[in-house]
Amino acid sequence: MVRTHYEALLEAALQGARLEKHDLITLLSAETPEELSMLFAAAYRMKLRYVGGVVRLRGLIEISNICVKNCHYCGIRRGNTALARYTMTREEILDAARLALEFDYGSVVLQAGERCDREWADWIAGIIREIKELSGGRLGITLSLGEETRETYRKWFEAGAHRYLLRIESSNPELYAKMHPADHHFARREQCLADLGEIGYQVGTGVMTGLPRQDATDLAEDILFFRRHDVDMIGMGPYIPHPATPMGRECGDFDPARALLGARKMIAVTRLALRDVNIASTTALQALAPDGREQGLLSGANVIMPNMSPAANRPAYALYTGKPGLDENAEETRAALEKAIAMIGEKIGYGEWGDAPHSVPKRR
């Protein structure tokens, strides 16, 4: 049988070849059903080999939708004045953390819009300490709270957080500039990623896929960016237009099936290139198809962030339209997830922090 160039490239990747930019572009350009199924199968093999068929869970607590930023794509941007703003109380956050402990999730993610004031930094540090205390150190804590000063990052690390997610959104500075107001700087974000790593966090970054004017070369550069920054975790998801945003208003027809496929291709090629990192199958995938997160796992992802937020807060944390699970509570989210993961024959890594093998030498 004649092997295609595409097939040969996948085999080389599985045998340990380092994928260069032109290889990544070729792999990301899969279009035919044969290429796509070969790509996903190869990425899945790579995942089993390096991180196993165990899904790592991080209970996601969306602690506030107040944000000082105005990213052109995001539904909770400062300029969306129609949105009711909330911040969970300390007790509500601790209750969500207790629930994550009871569910044996192993770790939580505290996520919010960005706030850079001192009061916020201290309040978050206090909450991190309390979560550590109430769980006897058992819950791992990941933060996803945007750009902060080095001092604040250090304060939160010393309080007990050990992983931080900050997406670069696009590693192409020109694309980045188009997606953000002029006072949001690519270089500043890159500096934050460097600061986080130096402080000792396991660092996660990622991009949105399917952005207007983004092509396979941009995505290949994104993967090279992840490699250059030696990141431990990748959180990527499809861009989903939100009508209350400048980009959402400009966007023409949105094709969910195409967006989902694009995100899966990016997950698969990232797994083939980076091998032993944690890759999230994000909620945005599930917004595009009921089994979107399972499709993400089957394309090479190994982390899921089940929502722990109280049902009452969920509609107000709409980063994009069609966010799933808005009428569910944490218990229902867990039941649905367990069923879905069992369906694809994977296991859940209960009770573990679930750090990526890539970050083991850096573990505290």
Binding site for ligand SF4 (CB under 6 A): 67, 69, 71, 74, 76-77, 113-114, 146
Q: How far is the CB of 239 from ligand SF4 (least distance, A)?
A: 11
**Enclosing H/E stretch for 109:** strand 107-112
Angle at 200 between CA 198 and CA 201, to 5 degrees: 110
Q: What is the dihedral of CA 236, 241, 247, 248, to 10 degrees?
A: -170
Is residue 286 within the footprint of ligand SAH (CB under 6 A)? no
Distances (CA, A) of 242 to 122, 247, 248: 32, 8, 5
User: CA–CA separation, 354 vs 120, rounded Å?
Assistant: 28
77 binds, among ligand SF4, ligand SAH, none (CB under 5 to 8 A by kind): ligand SF4
Interface residue with ligand SAH, options 40, 103, 176, 320 (CB under 6 A): 320
219 binds, among ligand SAH, ligand SF4, none (CB under 5 to 8 A by kind): none
Nearer to ligand SF4, 13 or 166 (CB): 166
Nearer to ligand SF4, 236 or 298 (CB): 236
Residues 226-245 that bind ligand SAH (CB under 6 A): 237, 239-240, 242
User: CA–CA separation, 296 vs 301, rounded Å?
Assistant: 6
Nearer to ligand SAH, 146 or 160 (CB): 146
109 binds, among ligand SF4, ligand SAH, none (CB under 5 to 8 A by kind): none
Q: How far is the CB of 320 from ligand SF4 (least distance, A)?
A: 10
4 forms beta bridges with none
Residues 78-117 that bind ligand SAH (CB under 6 A): 111, 113-114
Would you tell me how many other CB atoms lie within 10 Å of the CB of residue 228?
10
Is residue 314 within the footprint of ligand SAH (CB under 6 A)? no
Helices and strands of the chain, counted as H and E runs:
14, 11
Backbone angles phi, psi at 233, to 5 degrees: -140, 145
Question: What string marks each residue from 132 to 171 as x (binds ligand SAH by CB under 6 A) or -?
Answer: ------------x-x-------------------xx-x--
Dihedral sign from CA coordinates of 184, 185, 186, 190: negative
C-alpha 63 chain-centroid distance:
17
Nearer to ligand SF4, 146 or 241 (CB): 146
**Enclosing H/E stretch for 155:** helix 150-159
Tokens of 57: 């869970």
Q: How far is the CB of 285 from ligand SAH (least distance, A)?
A: 10
Please give the residue ranges that form the binding site for ligand SAH (CB under 6 A). Answer: 73-74, 111, 113-114, 144, 146, 166-167, 169, 208, 237, 239-240, 242, 284, 319-320
